[in-house]
Amino acid sequence: MKQPFISADEAAARARELFMQGYNCAQSVAGSFYEELGVSRQQALAMSAGFGAGFARLRETCGAVSGMVLVLGAVLQRGAARPEDKQLVYETVQKEILGFEAENGSYICRDLLGLLEKQKDAPVPSQRDAAYYAARPCLRLVENAARRTAQWLEKRHAQEAEQTDPVLLDEVWFAAHAPVRPADGHKGTFGKVLAVCGSEQYRGAAALCCEGALRSGAGLVQLAAPAAVCNAVAARLPEVTFLPLTGDAAQNAALAADGQKKASALVLGCGLGQSEAAAALVSALCVPQALPAVLDADALNLLAAVPQPLAMTPSPARVLTPHIGEMARLMNMDTAEVLADQTGIARRAASDWGSVVVLKSSRTVIAAPDGRTLLLDAPNSGLAKGGSGDVLAGVIAGLLAQGMPAFEAAGCGVWLHSAAARRAAEERGPAAMLPGDILRYLWS
């Protein structure tokens, strides 16, 4: 997705080319916007394959509009969770349908708007329902539908580019959002974190992550990992409980997924590696995902190898913590492109994936799907060591387990991590400090 949108002329040309190749009306429109849908062109064509076949009895315009609805609905609903967000999706799609009708002088089958009216709580039509009002239109209608869709998307991207500057993440913001810890609370009050982290090569990552979760205030932390990793962490952290993964890839994935049912929050990826077994764990725990979760490190690297899986499973309670290189892989961009517009890229990723994004760098950007954005401008070269991100992932997961909303948990976690790292650098010096030193100063 290197380009935020395509021009109206290019969209019309793409739609015309697909239509002349024999694709149905909906495929011709939807297939022209595969980047916006977050999939490959072949996947976009497959998604809309059933939209325009066998319904010649309906007006031709309906088929072109079905492709438009697919694109607009998918783009608008990314991250939409509140009732007012879903109402906006419905109203925008309805407006575009009526506008297309007026501009083309054609009558659109009222079944289309009737269907949308019934689906206000889930505005993006299913393939079965969309097929009901799809029909094969003439070439002019396909071109016009693609052109109008591109114009709407260009306007939307322009509005996103004009968003206000991010809010500075500082002591004032943290004090206003920090979690309250009741004096009479018990370990159940403060939640349980399931950490699916660590591998033979990266045992320390699991320990740093688990201690980060404990020191951020979580009541319980359980580590699901190979036996060797569990043994290493047990020697350092007697407070952690364990779910040893001793079976094959499928058995371990099933065991971790079952462990998730008893957790308040999940942290996945720290030191996990990129083996077949690790990929099975990520697949089992990420799709679908209702549990508040932090996805870090190798979980992101494994997801980057799958065509836009995050766009397919929006989760407002999910926090992604990529560094610049991981974000570049996830967005199919060069690192230079991400560095040039960190705030814009973080906002776009949060919107596209329907999740909170923490884009880690010397200046960290935290973006929510609804456009809220924080900026931490506190460079510290002492954090430029392997393991610092593992501590942060654990801290955020611990705050999620305590019931904090994802955006606030991410903001508070980043602030706690940075403040503790500043203290560590002051005491030991940025060159000598270690990620483990950060843990000593959390909440101090």
**Is residue 296 within 8 Å of residue 270, measured between CB atoms?**
yes
- Architecture of 167-440 per CATH? 3-Layer(aba) Sandwich (3.40)
CA–CA separation, 278 vs 354, rounded Å?
24
Q: Which two tokens stand for residue 404?
A: 């904090």
Q: Going residue by residue through the chain, which has 444 residues, state the pLDDT in tens, using 9 for 90 and above.
A: 334 468 889 999 998 898 888 787 778 888 898 877 767 788 888 877 765 444 333 344 556 666 777 777 666 655 444 455 556 656 666 676 667 666 655 544 444 455 455 544 544 444 444 443 343 345 777 788 888 888 888 877 776 666 678 999 999 999 989 998 999 999 999 999 999 999 999 999 999 999 999 999 999 999 999 999 999 999 999 999 999 999 999 999 999 999 999 999 999 999 999 999 999 999 899 866 679 999 999 999 998 887 656 655 678 899 999 999 999 999 889 999 999 999 999 998 998 888 999 999 999 999 998 889 999 999 999 999 999 999 999 999 999 999 999 999 999 999 999 999 999 999 999 999 999 999 999 998
Q: What is the DSSP letter of 323?
A: B
Look up tokens 């998604």; give the residue. 47
Q: Among 378, 383, 369, 408, which Cα is nearest to 216's?
A: 408
Sign of CA dihedral 39, 40, 41, 42: negative
Write out the residue limits of the CATH 3.40.1190.20 domain(s) in the chain: 167-440
Whether the full predicted model's pTM is greater than 0.85, yes or no, is: no
